[in-house]
């Protein structure tokens, strides 16, 4: 019987990846056939690499989701991180954005079903991470905006800065996040997670990271602008409050540029 040809480098790399990050019996068996058994057996060699990679991925998630880990404990978090790595292996070596799928994973993670607030807490921490590592960008030229006549001003669309994000949550996750990170046991004891929804701005500003709770109408106005709606359409839901809300955004430099609706 003719011996099968050895795998290509790409095939061997895929076998190695599957054996490390999707450690099924079949994946490990396929990889073990191509590993040297001198010294340590192939399975033990593979376990060394698997432990190293899993530790790196868990550490990455710990840095992005410190409040989640503090709430569930290190052991539970490590278990969840391992399951996440099996379901969502990294696609590249840059791990700063590795946790982007973690909130959705936690929302469907059955062992965390008794903690319905956990996924939204993870959403907030993901946004905090994205805002903190967002590139520095120029800010909107408010002086040029002020030169527009009233008709053109209503046609203005804005491009938000990457360091300005919005989050609407069903529970007071901002208060939970702050209390957990401050290790404020009194705040945690008195926090009412059934207090209702919250609308949040998450931004990196001159004074550092800002997580701000805002009224629903202010959030809807900002959301409309960030989605590219012209000022006139975005202002329809806030009436007379629109000028003050827009001025606050400009002062805090939430937008990197503006253009008229007729411009491409």
Q: Hey, where are the domains in the chain?
A: 1-115, 135-264
Provide the sign of the torsion angle of the four alpha carbons 115, 117, 123, 126, taken in this order.
negative
Report the candidate in 159, 164, 142, 158 with the shortest Cα–Cα distance to residue 209.
164
**What dihedral do alpha carbons 153, 155, 161, 162 form, nearest 10°?**
170
DSSP-assigned beta bridge partners for residue 209:
204
DSSP-assigned beta bridge partners for residue 260:
156
CA-CA distance, 75 to 96, in Å (whole number)? 22
Report the candidate in 151, 157, 161, 167 with the shortest Cα–Cα distance to residue 211.
167
Per-residue pLDDT of the chain (264 residues; tens, 9 = 90+): 455 666 677 777 776 666 666 666 565 666 666 666 666 666 677 777 777 888 989 999 999 999 999 999 999 999 999 999 888 888 777 777 888 999 999 999 999 999 999 999 999 999 999 999 999 999 988 888 889 998 898 999 999 999 999 999 999 999 999 999 999 999 999 999 999 999 999 999 988 999 999 999 999 999 999 999 999 999 998 878 999 999 999 999 999 999 987 644
pTM comes to: 0.85
CA-CA distance, 114 to 83, in Å (whole number)? 18
CA-CA distance, 256 to 153, in Å (whole number)? 17
Report the candidate in 126, 128, 142 with the shortest Cα–Cα distance to residue 256.
142
Report the candidate in 264, 257, 251 with the shortest Cα–Cα distance to residue 225.
257
């Amino acid at each position: 019987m003719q011996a099968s040809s050895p795998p290509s480098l790409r095939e061997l790399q895929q076998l190695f990846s599957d054996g490390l990050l999707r450690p099924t019996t079949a994946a490990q068996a396929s990889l073990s056939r191509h590993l040297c058994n001198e010294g340590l057996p192939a399975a033990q060699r593979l376990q060394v690499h698997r432990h190293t990679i899993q530790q790196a991925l868990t550490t990455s998630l710990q840095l992005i989701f410190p409040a989640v880990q503090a709430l569930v404990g290190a052991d539970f978090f490590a278990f969840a991180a391992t399951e996440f790595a099996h379901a969502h292996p990294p696609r590249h070596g840059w791990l700063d954005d590795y946790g982007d799928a973690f909130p959705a994973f936690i929302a469907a993670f059955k062992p965390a079903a008794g903690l319905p607030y956990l996924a939204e807490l993870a959403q907030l921490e993901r946004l905090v991470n994205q805002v903190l590592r967002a590139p520095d960008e120029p800010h909107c030229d408010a002086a040029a905006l002020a030169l527009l006549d009233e008709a053109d001003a209503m046609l203005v669309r804005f491009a938000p800065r990457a360091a300005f994000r919005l989050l609407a949550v069903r529970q007071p996750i901002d208060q939970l996040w702050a209390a957990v990170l401050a290790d404020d046991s009194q705040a945690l004891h008195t926090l009412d997670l059934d207090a209702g929804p919250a609308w949040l701005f998450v931004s990196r500003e001159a004074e550092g990271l800002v997580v701000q709770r805002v009224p629903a109408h202010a959030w809807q106005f900002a959301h409309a602008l960030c989605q590219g709606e012209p000022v006139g359409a975005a202002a329809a839901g806030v009436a007379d409050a629109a000028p003050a809300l827009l001025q606050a955004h400009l002062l805090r430099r939430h937008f990197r540029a503006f253009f008229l609706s007729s411009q491409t």
